[in-house]
Every structure is written in C-alpha cells, then in structure tokens.
Amino acid sequence: MPWCKVLSFTEPFSYQSAFRSVEVELFPTAKGKFCAELTQVCMNTLWVHGAHEDLPRVYIGVVKPRRAAIGFLTQGKPARDATPWHGRFARLRHTFVTST
C-alpha cells in the first residue's frame, strides 16, 4: 500500500536513522540549532526521500543491499558555490546514481 509522511528533526542522530534506503552518518560543520525535514514516499518497491537541513554538513554513507540511490539538487546555488559530491561539483542539472 503506498504511503507518504513528512518528519521534522532537531537532532542529527534521529534524522540520519530515518533514511530507509541508506545507512548514513551525518556531521554538521557549523554551530547552531540543527533543523531538518525528511519527506518519505513509498510506492511498494520505489522509495523516494526528499531531505533538507539548515546547517552545512558532511556525511558518509552506503546504500543498503538491493537498493539504488539517485540524487539531485532541488535548490540552486551560484556557479562559484557548487555543492561538492563524490569529488566533483554538483549543480541543478546533475544527477548522481549510486548502487550496491
């Protein structure tokens, strides 16, 4: 049965534990109040996550077995301030695929 939910977090550990398709460790890189929102949509075998965090961060993670992750930016940044992703710089037009 398909379902959808939106979760809010004020603490990185509970936020990183909520992702269903990846195991991830999140490390905020700036001081301040941590605030994140995670939207989850499940359509049987297709899982969709939409995530937003207020603080800059780095993370390390792996995709769970028999899953693939497709990532893309949903908010643009100026060209001089592109987002680093796996040693490259990501912009709105880029899509990244990671699988096990």
Mind listing the pLDDT tens digit for each residue in 79-93? 545 555 556 666 656
Which residue type is seen at 27?
F
- Quote the mean pLDDT of the chain: 79
The pLDDT confidence band at residue 75, using thresholds 50, 70 and 90, is low
pLDDT tier at 6, thresholds 50, 70, 90:
very high
What is the C-alpha separation between 49 and 77, in angstroms, rounded? 21
pLDDT in tens, 11-33: 999 999 998 888 889 899 899 99
Phi then psi for residue 86, to 5 deg, are 55, 45
Separation of CA 97 from chain center:
13
